[in-house]
Amino acid sequence: MDIFSNLAIGFGVAVTAQNLLYCFTGVFLGTLIGVLPGIAPVATVAMLLPLTFSLSPAASLIMLAGIYYGAQYGGSTTAILVNIPGESSAVVTTIDGHAMAKQGRAGPALGIAAISSFIAGCIATLVVALFSPPLAEIALKFQPADYFSLMVFGLVGAVVLARGSVRKAIAMVVLGLLLGLVGTDVNSGVIRFAFGLPALAEGISFAALAMGMFGVAEVIYNLEQHAADRKVVAVAKIGRVMPTLADLRQCLPSIARGTGLGALLGILPGGGALLSSFAAYTVEKKVASAPKNFGNGDIRGVAAPEAANNAGAQTSFIPMLTLGVPSNPTMALMIGALMIQGIQPGPQAMLQRPDLFWGIVASMWIGNLFLLLLNLPLVGLWVRLLAVPYRLLFPAILMFCCIGVYSINNNPFDLFQLVVFSALGYMLLKLGCEPAPLVLGLVLGPMMEEYLRRALLISLGDPTVLITSPLSAAFLIAALVLLVSIAVPAIRTQREVAMKE
């Protein structure tokens, strides 16, 4: 294997003063926008694009990549501190992360998020370095039927996310699927349930929904409580800032599982990376000992999804670097940036410009190190932020949510969506329904439909493709098993309740 010589080339490119600086700038900006709710990496990358014209291709890609995975890192911060998921992948982190913050353990939650992201990032970078071409081949093997079944599996997993009633969780998933129907139908081009509003043609704004349901609804809920018993962390309660060694030992298996799952799902260009944190959480809740704690501030509930989403963020570069296929809009933009530089990303670029490919791989590792060094000291600062009285903190949360939602499309209409979803989120919160399964339904619903209909279209209407494809069959069976494992205990408890009555 000439992997070492390749890595040597890579580090040779990445460890120049200039590229180190761009790498740092990238991860710093990424952290910043990750922390700011709603400001998406794609918008930031778009705004910085003109800056990169004057840089070398390697430097610009190193910086843009840093923004992308840096944002994944930063996203967990607001999820933990104020219950606002900056990105869909951080939705899961809100569940146990924010619960930990309410218990005064924001520090360890942030700490473990940074550490597990770092470990996952390092391992996933190694995966990118060693196995890119074969993994890319696997990604191409995925057919629409397989994607559909993977999504079904993901949706069943969404039910597991809920800490309360299973029925409510199913209802939330369905509601999410329904909301996901809004917008242009990919297969026919028909605009559905948009009520004549062109702004709804692309579907409901994910940021508006997530911020309304989580952030703003929570703010309203908190304000409603009497000042004395507010569920916001008080200064006195902040104990340790760092997780203990025992925490870390407890988390290591979770981190390992999360990394593996994230790295695998990350390579699928059709939405796999999105599922990684959800899947990791679901698996953790099923596999880990004492799953009862999940949902009430279990540190493993932070470690596993954070590891998964960061591992997924790294491996989602594989389709782009080896096939020239973007796995998400940010990647599409990076490909755009390379094309402006006169480089056609893809297999040729990898052979002709090894400095570019290996330079990026090396910079990812360095970037992850930067992120760890940047984030661990920041934990103390973030935790102190919670000491700010809530009456001063909440207008700031509101304002950042508003700017964030607006900035995505520069369209005031999205702010009205924010209002609607804040109200809905508040009602659901009152009713004890959790928003996380809803969000997953919203995100997966349209994709699931798209893949199912495409699978049927290509098979000329033959539904057996779902079973005859081995991958698809495997996912469907896994989904069934998961469903039974949820249903059986749920039915049992219900019976017990009925018996008592």
Partner 1 sequence: MRVVAGLLCASLAVFCSAQAQAQNYPTKPIRILVPYAPGGFVDVAARIISQKLQERLGQQVIVENRSGGNGFIGTTAGAKAAPDGYTLLTAHTGEFAVSPAVFKDIPFDLERDFETITLVSIAPMLVAVNVKSPIQSIPDLIAAAKAKPNTIGMGTPGTASINHLAGEWFADAAGVKFLHVPYKGGAPAGVAVAAGEVPMGIMAISSVLAQIQAGRVKPLAVTTAKRSPQFKDWPTLQEAGNLKDVDASIWTGLFAPKGTPKPILDKLHAEMVAILAMPDVREKFAQGGAETGGTSAADFVAMIRREAATYKAIVEKANIKPE
Partner 2 sequence: MVLARNYRLGTPARMGPGFFPTILGGLLAALGLSLTIPALVRDGDPLPGFGLRPLLAILVGIVVFALLLAPLGFVIAAAALILIAGLAEPELRRLEQLGLTLFLIAFSVAIFVVMLGLPLNLWPNI
Q: Which residues bind partner 1 (CB under 8 A)?
A: 42-43, 45-46, 49-50, 53, 140-144, 184, 186-191, 198-199, 201-202, 269-270, 323-326, 329-330, 332-336, 339-340, 342, 344-349, 409-411, 450, 454, 457-458, 460
Sign of CA dihedral 91, 97, 103, 104: negative
The CA distance from 250 to 247, in Å, is 5
219 binds partner 2 (CB under 8 A): yes
Write the CA distances from 139 to 88, 107, 268, 498, integer angstroms.
22, 38, 5, 48
Of partner 2, partner 1, none, which one does residue 20 interact with (CB within 5 to 8 Å by kind)?
none
Tokens of 305: 């999804």
| Residue number with CB closer to partner 1 (17 or 460) | 460
Residue 230, judged by CB atoms within 10 A of its CB (0-12, 13-18, 19+), counts as: middle
Q: What three-state secondary structure class fits 139?
A: helix
Contact call for residue 177 and partner 2 (CB under 8 A): yes
- 384-401 burial, b for 16+ CB within 10 Å, e for fewer? eebeeebeebbeebbebb
At which residue do the structure tokens 């039915």 appear? 491
Q: Which stretch binds partner 2 (CB under 8 A): 33-41, 83-91, 124-132, 367-375?
A: 33-41
Angle at 108 between CA 107 and CA 110, to 5 degrees: 65
Say whether residue 36 binds partner 2 (CB under 8 A): yes
Q: Which of 412, 484, 493, 495 binds partner 2 (CB under 8 A)?
A: 412
Of residues 22, 105, 6, the one with CA closest to residue 65: 22
Q: E strands, 91-224, where?
A: 183-184, 191-192
Q: Residue 333 binds which one of partner 2, partner 1, none, with CB within 5 to 8 A depending on kind?
A: partner 1
Beta strands in 225-308 (DSSP E): none
Binding of partner 2 by 32 (CB under 8 A): yes
Q: Report d(CA 449, CA 86) in Å as an integer.
A: 25
**201 near partner 2 (CB under 8 A):** no
Please select the residue that binds partner 2; options are 103, 453, 454, 478, rule is CB under 8 A: 453
Count of residues near partner 2 by CB under 8 A: 60
Residue 19: both structure tokens together: 């590229």
Q: Counting contacts by CB under 8 A, is residue 480 touching partner 2?
A: no
Nearest to 114 by CA among 464, 357, 368, 434: 368
Partner touching 240 among partner 2, partner 1, none, CB below 5 to 8 Å by kind: none
Side chain identity at residue 11, one-letter code:
F
Residue 373 sits in the site that holds partner 2 (CB under 8 A)? no
- Tokens of residue 132, six digits: 């890119």
- Does residue 174 touch partner 2 according to CB under 8 A? yes
- Is residue 384 near partner 2 by the rule CB under 8 A? no
The residue (of 175 and 302) whose beta carbon lies closer to partner 2 is 175
The verdict on 256 binding partner 2 (CB under 8 A) reads no
Q: Out of 373, 423, 473, 483, which residue is the one contacting partner 2 (CB under 8 A)?
A: 423
Contact indicator for 76, 375 with CB cutoff of 8 Å: no
Question: Site for partner 2 (CB under 8 A): which residue of 3, 8, 21, 47?
Answer: 47
Give the span between the Cα atoms of 327 and 221, in whole angstroms. Answer: 37
Which two three-digit tokens encode residue 168? 């409510």
Nearer to partner 2, 423 or 490 (CB): 423
Give me the least distance between CB of 338 and partner 2, in Å please.
22
- Tell the smallest beta-carbon distance from residue 456 to partner 2 (Å): 8
**Roughly how many angstroms between the first and final C-alpha of the chain, as a whole number?**
68
- How many residues in total does the chain contain? 501
The yes or no reply on residue 392 touching partner 2 (CB under 8 A) is: yes
Which of partner 2, partner 1, none interacts with 181 (beta carbon under 5 to 8 A by kind)? partner 2
Partner in contact with 112, chosen from partner 2, partner 1, none, beta carbon below 5 to 8 Å by kind? none
The answer to whether 374 contacts partner 2 (rule: CB under 8 A) is: no
Distance CA(399)–CA(382), nearest Å, equals 18
Which parts of this chain interact with partner 2 (CB under 8 A)? 29, 32-33, 36, 39, 43-44, 47, 167-168, 170-171, 174-175, 177-178, 181, 185, 188, 190, 192-193, 216, 219-220, 223-224, 227, 390-392, 394-396, 398-400, 402-403, 406-407, 410, 412-413, 415-416, 418-419, 422-423, 426-427, 430-433, 448-449, 452-453
